[in-house]
């Protein structure tokens, strides 16, 4: 049998399209970047004057807004993170092309352990590569890992705020509607606390492009039982706001 294309190494040479080339003449962004998955949090922060629109990443569909928070040495770039591994990886590539170097992401995830209360922050220590995007950046393997310093910054931000949090692996999958009981049992056996769709791709792109990346999630819906429990995870306004604030605080501690 021929090698599946996803396992064929693309090599380390430049691609036909490079974000660094596309954006080389654009105004640079602050190098510390927060990628946030929560549209409503970003919209509210913009309306309250906390965020200033600086760029838009254009493509098919709605442009991705890119903001700045704060000024001078304390300035942080803030952007919507996209959705699913390919889209989020493209957003990350373009922000790197604009000058981003230290990245933290905040989002939500399903839990594989129903005892984790909804809203609990989870600092990701590694991501199981059950998606396709990471294989275009790293050699085939099971795990992609975040930057240790970025991860430490997230943990310290939680501790400083007195927030209880969990630490552990996550399962990144493209198959939102193919998370079967059998798969969930396997992922739990490997130690995964949560399931989401982007972390492995984020970590792989960051490693390939030699930038730092860390991610924090909050415990959302529960897929660990016989039936799916939504737990109203999209309506956890306080948890989502808190996670964004923690991530922004952590980003400001990263070296420029």
63: its two tokens: 């442009």
- Distance between CA 183 and CA 124 in Å, rounded? 20
Closest CA to 34 of 119, 97, 92, 94: 92
Q: Does 11 have pLDDT greater than 90?
A: no
180 or 9: which carries more pLDDT confidence?
180
Dihedral sign (CA 26, 31, 37, 38) = negative
pLDDT for res 13: 81
Closest CA to 136 of 214, 80, 205, 203: 205
pLDDT digits (tens, 9 = 90+) for 32-83: 999 999 999 999 999 999 999 999 999 888 899 999 999 888 899 999 999 9
- Angle at 36 (CA atoms; ends 121, 155), nearest 5 degrees: 35
Which token pair is 239? 């948890």
Helix (H, G, I), strand (E, B) or coil at 158: helix
Q: Is the Cα dihedral 78, 82, 88, 91 positive or negative?
A: negative
Asked if pLDDT for residue 236 goes beyond 90, the answer is no
Integer angstrom CA distances of residue 194 from 51, 159, 169: 30, 21, 7
Estimate to the nearest angstrom the gap between the alpha carbon of 148 and the chain centroid: 15
For position 241, what pLDDT does the model report?
95
Give the pTM. Answer: 0.96
Cβ(163)–Cβ(219) below 8 Å: no
Residue 169 pLDDT > 80? yes
For each of the domains in the chain, give its residue range(s) and CATH number, in order of start: 27-251 (3.40.50.1580)
């Amino acid at each position: 049998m021929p090698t599946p294309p996803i396992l064929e190494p693309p090599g380390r040479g430049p691609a036909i399209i490079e974000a660094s080339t596309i954006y080389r003449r654009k105004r640079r962004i602050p190098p510390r970047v927060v990628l946030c998955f929560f549209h409503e949090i970003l919209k509210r922060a913009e309306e309250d004057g906390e965020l200033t629109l600086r760029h838009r990443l254009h493509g098919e569909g709605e442009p991705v807004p890119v903001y700045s928070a704060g000024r001078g040495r304390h300035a942080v770039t803030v952007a919507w993170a996209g959705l699913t591994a390919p889209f989020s990886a493209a957003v990350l590539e373009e922000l790197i092309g604009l000058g981003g170097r230290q990245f933290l992401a905040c989002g939500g995830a399903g839990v594989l352990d129903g005892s984790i209360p909804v809203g609990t922050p989870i600092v990701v220590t590694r991501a199981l590569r059950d998606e396709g995007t990471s294989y275009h950046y790293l050699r085939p393997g099971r795990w992609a890992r975040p930057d240790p310093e970025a991860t430490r910054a997230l943990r310290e931000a939680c501790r400083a705020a007195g927030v209880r949090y969990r630490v552990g692996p996550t399962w990144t999958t493209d198959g939102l509607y193919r998370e079967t009981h059998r798969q969930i049992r396997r992922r739990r056996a490997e130690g995964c606390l949560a399931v989401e769709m982007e972390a492995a791709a984020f970590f792989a792109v960051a490693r390939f492009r030699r930038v730092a990346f860390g991610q924090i999630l909050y415990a959302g819906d529960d897929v660990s039982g016989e039936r799916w429990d939504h737990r109203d995870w999209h309506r956890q306004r306080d948890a989502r706001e808190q996670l964004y604030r923690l991530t922004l605080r952590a980003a400001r501690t990263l070296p420029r």
